[in-house]
Every structure is written in C-alpha cells, then in structure tokens.
C-alpha cells in the first residue's frame, strides 16, 4: 500500500473539469513533483488534499486512512502540512508567532489553564519555542525572529512559509510552487532545503513547480498534468521527453 | 536606547521584558491605589467608569482586535450581565455567586451568538451583532415579569461577606480595578498561549489557520464566549455603579462608544483599550462643559468685535440652541472616529509609541519610521 494516494480524484465547477479522475500515489520518503501548464489543475489538487475544496468524486488516503471526509483542520493534525502559492502568512504578527502557530497541532493545554498561564502552559510554550528554534536554525531565519511579516521581503516570506509548515513536524509536506517569485540564488537555496527535508528530516514531499531546473534537481518522480488529467508519470527525464507532455507545453 | 539580550526561551514569554517595566507599572499601581484617598468623589466616580469601560474595551479587543470579528452588540452583553445581577440579587443571591453567574450566562449567550456569526464576515457580521443588540433591548423592554420593562430595575449596593460596599466607596473602586487588572493579565496570558495565537491567525488568514490545524469555527465561538463573559462581569459592576438600570441605557450608542474605545485607543493593543476608555469617559464632561460655556464665550467674543448687546444675545441663544441639538453628540463621536481612522489609525497608543521613540532616538527620529508602506500585493484569500 502506498503512503499517500489519490484515487479517481475529480473536482468539477459546473461544466469545467478542473481535476478529472486523477490517480497517483506517493511513496514514503520520496519527492514527487506535479508539473503542467497554467490551469492544469495542480493547485486544485493541493486544495483538495487540504480540504479547502470538497472533491466532486474520488477518495484520498493517507497512511491507509481515508481522509476524504476529514474536516480541514484535522488534515494538519494527521501530519500533512502545506505552503501556499501566494503566501498566506499572518501579516500583522512576528515571524516567531507565525512559526508558533505552526505548532498548533501539538498544543494540549485547555483554555482555563492558558488564562492562568499554569506551569503546564509555560512548559508547553518552552517546548514549542525550542522546536521552533530548531526550524529557525535549519532554514537560517535567525535575523528575522522578532520582525513583523508585513515588513519582510518576498523571498524571506517564502522561506517562512516553509518554516511554518515544518514547525508542525509534518510527515507529508505539500509545497505549492516553492520557487515562484524567487531569484536564481534563492531558488538554489530552496532546492537544497527541499532535499534536506527528505534526507535529514525524513519528510515526504509533494510539490507543484514550474521551474524545471528545480524539478530536475530534487524530484524522484514527476507527474505531468494537463486539463485536469494525468499525461505522464515517471522520472524527470522520462516525463520531459513524453510526446504528450511536449505537445502540451509547445503545442502539437 | 536599551538593548535586550535574550539568554533563555523564558525571555520571550515574560510579561515584563525588563526591569524598567516593574518600575513604571509599579508606580502606576501605586498611584491607582492611593487615588481614592486623594481625588475628589467626582473624579473617583469617573475613574470607576474608566475601569468598567476599559474592561469592556479589552473584551472587545479580544474579539475584534485579535480575532478580527467586528461586533456592535457589546452593549447587549453588558445589559445581560447587569440584568442577571439585578434579577438574582432580588432573590437574595450573594454577590460572588451572581457575579460569577452573570459572567457565565453572558459567556454562554456570547457563544450562541458566535454560532450564526461563523458564516458571516465583515459588515454582515456587524449587522448581525446590531440585530442581536436590538433583540436584547426589545426583550428587556417587553419581558416585564423579569426585567420590569421600561420602568427599569433598582439594584442594591454590593454586599461582600456581610459588609455593604457603597458604590462611591474606595472598596467598590478597588473591585472594578481588580476586575480590569485580572482581565488584562488573563488576556496577556491568552495571547502568549496557543489559543491567543490561533485568534490572531484567524484574523490574518483563515485559510492558513485552517491548514495549520486551527479549528476556525471552534476558536471563533471561543472568542465570542470569552469576550461576552468579560463584558458580562463588567455589566454587574456597571449596574452597581448606576444602582438603576433600564433598557434605554443599553442602546446602539453604547455599543458604538465601546467601538470608539478600541478604535481611538489603538485596535491592536491593550494599552489602547485603557487609553480609549479614559478618552470616552472624559469626553462627556468636556462636551457638557462646552455646551454650557461655549455660547457665553462666543457671545463675549462677538461683543468684543462690536456685535452690540442685542446681537451678542442673539448669537448666544443661537449657539446654545445648536449645542443642545439632538444627535449632536453622535455627530461629534462620528467625526472623532473618522479623523482617527484617517490620521492616526494606530490610535492614541500608536501616538504614544511615536512620542516615546522620538525621545529614544533624539535627535535621529525620522517621520517616515511609521509610514505604512505596502510593498507586495496582499495575497488572494480563499473566502
């Protein structure tokens, strides 16, 4: 059984088939990239997995559990974290409190305990803080700890989104265009981090990406989509030479 | 300038980041504790209202400032707290019990209001909370067997462990101050715990909060419940201070006053709620002073510029008529809100921060430091 799999996943908006009977599987510890032209349904698949959209049909399984009907907040609790294409950080909060929200799924304290800030809450906060510090160190975010998000440049925000997802200690991480808006140097950094995610932290990565050089460098396998359907699956080189993929990108 | 060196994770959690805070807050507390033995009874009475308004301000701040859910219904929560106290007192329930009961009942009703609010956002939520306030006002006026209708209810002085605490006594002031301080400390504790961070997360991006595992619906209801409960507690003291309550005291105007408290104080800071409360409590006597004295002063000026006795008297009566127009107070409140939103969106507390920074950096302060800049397009929201 695969670690994560989608079976016949479909999302229809009226007559528009954004995602049409897509099936794929992710093995534990691999980096799988989804590529495809604009409007191919890549981000829609992410939004289906994180339950922002409800699938028209099809099922999603994670660790042999059917998560198709789980409420959105439970997806994170199961160990699936994500980043967003257009950055969804908490703008008026500091980097530190953004990252601490990433720890939310690990918080165990009750409201009344928090109102009194009992020792259990204090201990929990210190633990969260230590874990967050490990992520800060991992992604070199030390200079930004106490800065407000609204004053930070785009490239840094992108890394903070990744950091926030990592703070939840995910088993599977969904990266929605991690390199969009980044310059060549920042993209390089991102590719090292994505490989470190897999090698050092043992996180399984499912990624949507347009930058083929990044895809080639980090992916174990690639899925190509067009018009909501799977065109090809395989190693990065195989997929890029597949005639249907070439036709989709360059025109037949 | 002071540079903080953090050597422990505890440093990020502490309520007072450095020793200077102990000095300044210690001094403030000392002043507040000796105030009843120094200030006139009129000022003491105003100070009690500042405490009550600030408590409601903090409650509203939790809901509006930190969770991002606007409410124009807090006068109704205050009313529920006040009436619960008055009703239970009638049946001989002791103060500590009906104080707690009023807070819990208001919290429960707040949670119930929170449920329909889950589907509403922004202006629609404001309309829903206004409707809730009107419903409560109507119920208070019509449910005569319990609320005594428009005739209102009397509420006797607080009886605390057999001692009667008059509403003008220092003890009553200390009660109000204690409620305010406890509310502020509780809120600060909340803000440095997972729940407070979840509130702020919901305010800034519901989608991201959800994907981080925050149960948005549950936390919105929690925020409503906490905010309402605190307002209910404040309502009990409000009722005792006034010693008489009737439905027309808890109108939309009062809800708007609470909004002014947090808007003028500064929407994101607890300091702001207190500053805003001072502002709103002191503006009323100030306006009364203007209303009483302005016509005479203007007439005097007119006479000085040779308007003649008849002309001056004429002007005086006209100004006096204008000053006692219905709704003038509402218009002045409206203008104040508009001016603050336009020119000082960070409120009085923001202004204080700027002044403080000016002296810390003197002579290097740059006006552009607080200029709001928007560098990147705000990301689209899945709403």
Q: pLDDT tens for residues B122-141?
A: 888 999 999 999 999 999 99
Residues of B in contact with A124 (CB under 8 A): 194
* Residues A109, B375: C-beta atoms closer than 8 Å: no
CA-to-CA separations, A114 to A169, B78, B186, B224, B304, in angstroms, rounded: 23, 24, 8, 17, 65
Q: Is the pLDDT of residue B177 over 90?
A: yes
Min mean pLDDT across A6-15, B40-49, B199-208, B306-315 is at B306-315
Per-residue pLDDT tens over the stretch B340-376: 888 887 888 888 888 888 888 887 777 766 665 544 4
Phi-psi region of B214 (alpha: psi -120 to 50; beta: other; left: phi over 0): beta
| All residues at 6 or more sequence positions from A4 whose CB lies less than 8 Å from its CB, including other chains | A25, A26, A60, A61, A62, A63, A172, A204, A206
Q: For residues B109 and B113, what is the distance between their CA atoms, to the nearest angstrom?
A: 6
Using one digit for the tens of pLDDT, what is the confidence trace for B220-236?
999 999 999 999 999 99
pLDDT confidence of residue A252: 57
Determine whether the interchain pair B213/A104 forms a contact, defined as Cβ–Cβ distance below 8 Å: yes
Share of chain B above pLDDT 90, in %: 43
The 10s digit of each residue's pLDDT in B237-285 is: 999 999 899 998 998 989 999 998 988 888 778 898 999 999 999 888 8
Considering only CA atoms, which of B159, B161, B141 is closest in space to residue B151? B141
Span B157-172, pLDDT tens digits: 888 887 888 888 888 9
Q: Are strands A80-82 and A4-13 parallel, antiparallel or unpaired?
A: unpaired
Computed over every residue of chain A, the mean pLDDT equals 90
Beta bridge pairs of residue A24: A6
The reply to whether omega before B363 is within 30° of 0 (cis) is yes
Q: Residue range A221-231: average pLDDT?
A: 90
Judged by DSSP in three states, A60 sits in: strand
Answer with the residue of higher pLDDT: B218 or B117. B218
Specify the 3-state DSSP secondary structure of A208. Answer: strand
Residues of B at the A interface, defined by Cβ within 8 angstroms: 9-10, 12-13, 186, 189-190, 192-198, 200-201, 203-205, 207-216, 222, 226, 268, 375-376, 378-382
Section B12-20 average pLDDT:
81
Give percent of chain A with pLDDT exceeding 90: 50
Q: What is the mean pLDDT of residues A191-198?
A: 91
pLDDT of residue B370: 67
The two three-digit tokens of residue A179, written as one number: 């390199």
List pLDDT tens digits, range B58-95. Answer: 999 999 989 989 899 999 999 999 999 999 998 988 99
| Facing A117 at nearest CB: one of B193, B201, B212 | B193
Contact residues, chain B, for A71 at CB < 8 Å: 215
Question: How many angstroms separate the CA atoms of A54 and B253, rounded?
Answer: 43
CA atoms within 13 A on the CB side of B191: 23
Query: Could you tell me which residues come within 8 angstroms of residue A179 by beta carbon, excluding any fewer than 6 positions away?
Result: A186, A187, A190, A191, A209, A210, A211, A214
- B302-348: per-residue pLDDT in tens? 888 877 778 888 888 888 888 777 777 788 888 888 888 888 878 88
- pLDDT higher than threshold 90 for residue B195: yes
Return the pLDDT at B1: 60
pLDDT tens-digit map of B23-60: 989 999 999 999 989 888 899 999 999 999 999 999 99
pTM of the model: 0.89
On the 0-12 / 13-18 / 19+ scale of CB atoms within 10 A, B182 is middle
């Amino acid at each position: 059984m695969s670690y994560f799999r989608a079976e016949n996943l479909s999302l229809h908006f009226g007559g528009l088939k954004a995602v049409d009977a897509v099936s794929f599987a992710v093995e534990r510890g691999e980096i799988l990239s989804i590529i495809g032209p604009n409007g191919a349904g890549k981000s829609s698949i992410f939004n289906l997995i994180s339950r922002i959209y409800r699938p028209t049909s099809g099922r999603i399984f994670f660790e042999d559990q059917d998560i198709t009907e789980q409420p959105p907040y439970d997806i994170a609790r199961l160990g699936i974290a994500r980043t967003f294409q257009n950055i969804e950080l908490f703008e008026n909060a500091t980097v530190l409190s953004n990252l601490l929200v990433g720890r939310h799924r690990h918080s165990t304290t009750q409201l009344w305990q928090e109102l009194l800030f009992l020792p259990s809450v204090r201990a929990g906060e210190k633990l969260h803080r230590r874990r967050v510090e490990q992520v800060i160190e991992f992604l070199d975010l030390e200079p930004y700890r106490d800065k407000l998000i609204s004053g930070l440049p785009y490239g840094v925000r992108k890394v903070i989104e990744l950091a926030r997802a990592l703070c939840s200690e995910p088993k599977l991480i969904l990266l929605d265009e991690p390199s969009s808006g980044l310059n060549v140097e920042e993209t390089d950094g991102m590719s090292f981090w994505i490989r470190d995610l897999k090698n050092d932290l043992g996180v399984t990565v499912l990624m949507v990406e347009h930058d083929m050089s990044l895809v080639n460098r980090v992916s174990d396998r690639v899925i190509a989509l067009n018009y909501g359907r799977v065109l090809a699956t395989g190693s990065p080189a195989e997929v890029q030479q597949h005639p249907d993929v070439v036709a989709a990108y360059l025109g037949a | 300038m002071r540079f903080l060196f953090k050597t422990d994770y505890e440093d990020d959690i502490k309520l007072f980041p450095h020793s200077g805070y102990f000095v300044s807050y210690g001094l403030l507390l000392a002043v507040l504790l000796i105030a009843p033995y120094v200030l006139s009874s009129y000022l003491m009475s105003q100070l009690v209202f500042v405490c009550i308004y600030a408590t409601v301000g903090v409650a509203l701040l939790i809901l509006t400032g930190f969770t991002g859910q606007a409410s124009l219904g807090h006068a109704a929560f205050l009313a529920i707290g006040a009436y619960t106290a008055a009703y239970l007192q009638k049946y001989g329930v002791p103060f500590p019990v009906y104080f707690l009961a009023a807070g819990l009942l208001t919290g429960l009703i707040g949670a119930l209001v929170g449920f329909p609010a889950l589907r509403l956002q922004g202006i629609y939520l404001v309309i829903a909370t206004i409707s809730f306030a009107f419903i409560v006002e109507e119920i208070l006026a019509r449910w005569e067997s319990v609320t005594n209708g428009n005739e209102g209810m009397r509420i006797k002085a607080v009886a605390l462990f057999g001692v009667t605490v008059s509403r003008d006594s220092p003890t009553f002031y200390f009660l109000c101050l204690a409620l305010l301080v406890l509310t502020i400390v509780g809120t600060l504790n909340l803000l440095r715990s997972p729940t407070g961070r979840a509130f702020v997360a919901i305010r800034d991006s519901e989608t991201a909060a959800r994907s981080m595992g925050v149960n948005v619906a549950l936390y919105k209801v929690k925020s409503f419940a906490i905010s309402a409960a605190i307002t209910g507690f404040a309502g009990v003291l409000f009722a005792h201070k006034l010693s008489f309550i009737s439905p027309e005291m808890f109108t939309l105007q009062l809800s708007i006053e609470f909004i002014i408290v947090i808007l003028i104080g500064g929407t994101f800071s607890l300091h702001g709620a207190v500053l805003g409360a001072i502002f709103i409590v002191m503006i009323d006597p100030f306006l009364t002073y203007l209303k009483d004295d302005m016509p005479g002063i203007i007439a005097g000026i007119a006479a000085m510029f040779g308007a003649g006795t008849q002309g001056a008297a004429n002007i005086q009566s006209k100004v006096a008529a204008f000053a006692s127009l219905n709704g003038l107070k509402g218009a002045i409140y409206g203008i104040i809100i508009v001016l603050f939103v336009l020119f000082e969106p960070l409120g009085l507390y923001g202004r204080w921060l700027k002044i403080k920074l000016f002296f810390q950096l003197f002579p290097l302060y740059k006006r552009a430091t607080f200029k709001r800049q928007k560098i990147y397009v705000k990301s689209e929201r899945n709403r």
